[in-house]
């Protein structure tokens, strides 16, 4: 194996608070260990098109507190094709990039795995996603900040819910993962959380209404994981039809959850994982995600990290039910 001298760094998929902190950590740790670090703009699309520059310590100065990603991000359909991957590989050869570090979520790391396997190319991934749905890591970069953003928004919504004695369905991101909805519900003192159907086979709305929550409370907050089929609007419409006596409102937080200054926890996590990514490259690792487990950086094969069966503690639903009386 030839000696690695130059590392390409990109962010891909949805942005997450703390990505800039990770970019800073990878860049400075790379330079400290005598690597050249090339920042690739706009994710895999930028890798295909050769949009990049060599990063210096000055380039990443003052970005640890900024949301989003200075390298920009994009979703690339072309990279998913053999032709697109071949173009990306040709770019790596032309730019003398010997290894890649990819910061992103499930789809981004799937692309990293496929690229690494197809061209026998060293690729290391960092878990940058607000969904916290990657297997093998206790937390993902951006998750904690997003939780705090949701909590602040719901605290404000409750003021209105109390004033008007309404049921509010608040929709949060997470796609097929209920971690944001479940933990946000606990943090906000919500009366219920409705999480993806894969987690429970119960009719969660029926269970919530059957508990007779309005017997003791004049208002309710229900946190709902986003879904094309069963989002907050779906459940609100059901309540209007099945329980017409209730005043119902919907608040979809949407992309509000992605932005903002990263929390201290996300900054520390991104910094630790960024340095660990450089260490992994020095050790000759490839096709690995750097996760966090019991506060220690851990190597997780891509094939494990992108599994869809990350453990979801259903006992949290029981805790929420007990505390919502």
Helices (H), the chain: 19-32, 43-49, 82-94, 106-119, 143-164, 179-188, 204-210, 232-242, 264-282, 302-305, 315-323
131 is catalytic: yes
Q: How far apart are CA 210 and CA 205, in angstroms?
A: 8
Torsion of CA 293, 296, 299, 305, to 10 degrees: 30
Select which of 15, 98, 131, 144 is catalytic. 131
Q: Sign (positive/negative) of CA torsion 133, 122, 13, 303? A: negative
Asked if 167 contacts 189 with a C-beta cutoff of 8 angstroms, the reply is: no
CA-derived radius of gyration, the chain: 21
Sheet arrangement for strand 296-301: 52-54, 36-40, 6-11, 99-104, 123-127, 288-293, 296-301
Q: Which are the catalytic amino acids?
A: 131
């Amino acid at each position: 194996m030839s000696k690695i001298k130059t590392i390409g760094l990109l962010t891909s998929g949805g942005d997450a608070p703390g990505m800039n902190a990770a970019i800073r950590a990878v860049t400075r740790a790379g330079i400290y260990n005598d690597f050249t670090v090339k920042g690739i703009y706009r994710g895999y699309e930028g890798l295909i098109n050769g949009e990049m520059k060599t990063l210096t310590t000055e380039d990443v100065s003052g970005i640890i507190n900024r949301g989003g990603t200075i390298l920009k991000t994009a979703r690339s359909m072309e990279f998913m094709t053999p032709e697109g991957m071949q173009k990306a590989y040709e770019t790596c050869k032309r730019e003398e990039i010997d290894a890649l570090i990819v910061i992103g979520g499930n789809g981004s790391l799937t692309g990293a795995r496929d690229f690494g396997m197809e061209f026998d190319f060293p690729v290391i991934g960092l878990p940058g996603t607000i969904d916290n749905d990657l297997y093998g890591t206790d937390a993902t970069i951006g998750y904690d900040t997003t939780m705090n953003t949701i909590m602040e928004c719901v605290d404000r919504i409750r003021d209105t819910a109390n004033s008007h004695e309404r049921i509010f369905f608040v929709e949060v991101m997470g796609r097929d993962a209920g971690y944001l909805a479940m933990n946000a519900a606990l943090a906000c003192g919500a009366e219920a959380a409705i999480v993806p159907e894969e987690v429970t086979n119960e009719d969660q709305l029926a269970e919530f209404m059957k508990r007779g929550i309005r017997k003791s409370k004049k208002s309710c907050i229900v946190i709902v994981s986003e879904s094309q089929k069963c989002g907050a609007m779906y459940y609100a419409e059901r309540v209007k039809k099945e329980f017409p006596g209730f005043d119902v409102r919907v608040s979809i937080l949407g992309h509000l959850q992605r932005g903002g200054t990263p929390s201290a926890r996300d900054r520390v996590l991104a910094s630790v994982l960024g340095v660990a990514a450089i260490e992994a490259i020095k050790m000759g690792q490839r096709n690995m995600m750097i996760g966090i487990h019991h506060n220690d950086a851990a190597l997780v094969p891509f094939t494990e990290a992108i599994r869809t069966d990350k453990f979801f503690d259903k006992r949290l639903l029981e805790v929420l039910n007990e505390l919502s009386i």
